[in-house]
């Protein structure tokens, strides 16, 4: 998250507790936007409480505690019930249990989960609605009631079976609020709804959580703006970049021609990969796992025929968009419609004299070196003249950003891009294409981009991203 200035107000704290393997750690990861939370299907993986504060601009919005699951709830409750005290003294008995059993390995898990609660944390009790309700859970809920802390229950659905109706009836006897929450499918609106529910648990939390909601909303805006800025820079740098390779013979060899093409493509691939990593960091997904170093969209490399067909414009779309204005004739026309041969054969490179040549040669004559006159030539590729390329690159960037933004921090499976063949229809209409093309034309000119134009391009991409992600 952004910088870590000193926190200036007492933020709400919540201990996420419950039976082992009910999704506690997943809920902590989803609500804290933290994919460093350790999640495992193995019972008893969490043995110590761990704090996960959600920070925005250095301010802690709230703090979540991931805790071990109850192991000996009935024995703990039996110990508590031996003390016949009034309701206002029950929390003291819970503290006495912690003090007496702090070094007792048998009750390590119960002590660990109760400590943050007795230090003032509210309670988020997690149950799995895909498993039937049972009386064994009542000992846990009764212990939590003894603490006297504000509490809510979250019903998680780990599998497809649904016993939520009976869970709601039972939980209503113990908790002020009962909500359904799937940490694997959470979005911004659901997150805000849970925050609003937290505020209702304790009067003193209403004001700070309102502040938290405002800051969280601003942070969401920052993530969109930062993502749009990175994608805009990616497209500009990729379209405007020029690769050069000097040679000192009469003519360039085929090997040298192949080398500059490889260098040029690799440079653009590197732009895309570095942007993807930065996007993932913006959305706090810096622990995302990938099968390969290069995210290839189900094997579709940036320069493959498949990626051109999925993300690129059709001949008709190119004509409607008006990108053929002032186009070269003859072989150069193929450059415009290389939907299935993008950057293959003669479909890439600088155009020289309107011929649509594969490589552009800038010849430097009468260059003086050490007092002698030598001729020196170089191969040059770029700026990108393929009118389809910015849309292909932009489509991939938009799709990647959408998937990252919509991926819960609770997910731990290998991150992959599952292609949606209708994706282009969701974001690229005629109006958008014409607006984008105005900037792409400037990018291709090779001139330094005006800051006002770049900001306007970023704003356009921000609008498109919000439509894609928020719906």
Per-residue pLDDT of the chain (471 residues; tens, 9 = 90+): 444 334 445 788 999 999 988 889 999 999 999 988 888 766 666 779 999 999 888 888 899 999 999 999 999 999 999 999 999 999 999 999 999 999 999 999 999 999 999 999 999 999 999 999 999 999 999 999 999 999 999 999 888 899 999 999 999 999 989 999 999 888 888 899 999 999 999 898 898 889 889 988 999 999 999 999 999 999 999 999 888 888 777 777 888 888 888 898 899 999 999 999 999 999 998 776 554 444 456 667 888 877 888 888 887 887 777 765 443 333 333 433 333 333 333 333 332 222 222 222 233 222 222 223 345 677 788 888 888 899 999 999 999 999 899 888 888 665 556 666 678 888 888 889 989 999 998 898 877 778 899 999 999 999 999 998 886
Is 463 contained in some domain? yes
Domain end marker among 168, 201, 234: 201
Domain shared by 158 and 241, yes or no: no
Token pair recorded at residue 203: 């009067």
Render 215-270 in DSSP notation, one character per residue.
HHHHHHHHHHHHHHHHHHHHHHHHHH--EEEEE-SSS--HHHHHHHHHHHHHHHHH
Is 356 contained in some domain? yes
In the three-class reduction of DSSP (H, G, I as helix; E, B as strand; rest coil), residue 125 is classed as: strand
Domain end marker among 201, 226, 249: 201
**Exposure string over 114-133, b if 16+ CB within 10 A, otherwise e:** bbbbbeebbbbbbbbbbbeb
Peptide bond into 408 cis (omega under 30): no
Q: pTM of the entire structure?
A: 0.82
Domain shared by 160 and 227, yes or no: no
Domain shared by 109 and 247, yes or no: no
Is 421 contained in some domain? yes
Domain shared by 61 and 148, yes or no: yes
Domain shared by 187 and 228, yes or no: no
Q: How far is residue 250 CA from its own chain's centroid? A: 51
Q: Which domain holds residue 378?
A: 218-470
Non-local CB neighbours of 356 within 8 Å, separated by 6+ positions? 328, 330, 331, 332, 333, 334, 335, 346
Residue 33: phi and psi, rounded to 5, are 50, 45
Which CATH number belongs to the domain containing residue 63 in this structure? 3.40.50.300
Domain shared by 367 and 412, yes or no: yes
Decide: 126 and 15 in contact? Cβ < 8 Å. no
Q: Considering its fold, how many domains does the chain have in total?
A: 2
Is 3 contained in some domain? no
Is 20 contained in some domain? yes
Is 301 contained in some domain? yes
């Amino acid at each position: 998250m952004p910088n870590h200035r000193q926190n200036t107000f007492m933020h709400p704290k919540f201990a996420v507790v419950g039976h082992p393997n009910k999704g506690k750690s997943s809920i902590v990861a989803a609500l804290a936007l933290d994919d460093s939370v350790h999640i495992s299907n193995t019972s008893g993986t969490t043995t110590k409480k761990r704090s996960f504060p959600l920070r925005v601009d250095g301010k802690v919005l709230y703090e979540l505690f991931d805790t071990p699951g109850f192991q000996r709830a009935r024995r703990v409750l039996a110990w508590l019930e031996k003390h016949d005290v009034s309701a206002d003294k029950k929390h003291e008995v819970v503290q006495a249990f912690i003090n007496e059993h702090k070094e007792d390995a048998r009750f390590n898990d119960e002590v660990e989960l109760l400590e943050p609660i007795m230090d003032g944390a509210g309670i988020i009790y997690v149950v799995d609605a895909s498993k039937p309700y049972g009386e064994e859970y009542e000992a846990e809920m009764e212990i939590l009631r003894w603490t006297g802390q504000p509490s809510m229950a979250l019903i998680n659905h780990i599998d497809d079976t649904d016993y939520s109706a009976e869970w709601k009836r039972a939980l209503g006897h113990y908790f002020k609020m009962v909500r359904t929450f799937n940490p694997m499918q959470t979005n911004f609106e659901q997150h805000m709804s849970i925050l609003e529910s937290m505020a209702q648990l304790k009067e003193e939390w209403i004001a700070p959580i309102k502040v938290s909601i405002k800051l969280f909303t601003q942070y969401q805006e920052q993530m969109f703006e930062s993502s749009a800025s990175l994608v805009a820079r990616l497209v500009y740098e990729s379209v405007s970049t020029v690769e050069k390779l000097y040679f000192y013979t009469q003519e360039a060899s085929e090997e040298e021609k192949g080398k500059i093409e490889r260098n040029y493509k690799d440079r653009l691939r590197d732009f895309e990969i570095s942007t993807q990593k930065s996007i993932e960091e913006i959305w706090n997904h810096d622990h995302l796992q990938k099968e390969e170093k290069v995210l290839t969209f189900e094997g579709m490399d940036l320069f493959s025929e498949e990626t051109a067909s999925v993300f690129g414009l059709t001949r008709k779309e190119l004509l409607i968009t008006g990108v053929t204005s002032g186009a070269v004739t003859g072989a150069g026309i193929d450059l415009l419609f290389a939907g299935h041969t993008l950057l293959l054969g003669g479909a890439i490179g600088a155009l020289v004299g309107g011929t649509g040549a594969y490589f552009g040669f800038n010849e430097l004559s009468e260059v003086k070196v050490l007092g002698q006159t030598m001729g020196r030539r170089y191969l040059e590729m770029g700026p990108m003249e393929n009118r389809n390329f910015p849309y292909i690159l932009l489509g991939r960037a938009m799709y990647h950003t959408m998937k990252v933004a919509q991926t819960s921090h609770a997910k731990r499976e290998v991150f992959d891009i599952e292609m949606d063949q209708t994706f282009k229809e969701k974001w690229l209409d005629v109006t958008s294409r014409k607006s984008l093309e105005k900037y792409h034309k400037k990018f291709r000119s090779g001139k330094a981009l005006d800051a006002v134009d770049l900001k306007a391009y970023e704003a356009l991409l921000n609008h498109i991203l919000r439509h894609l992600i928020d719906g």
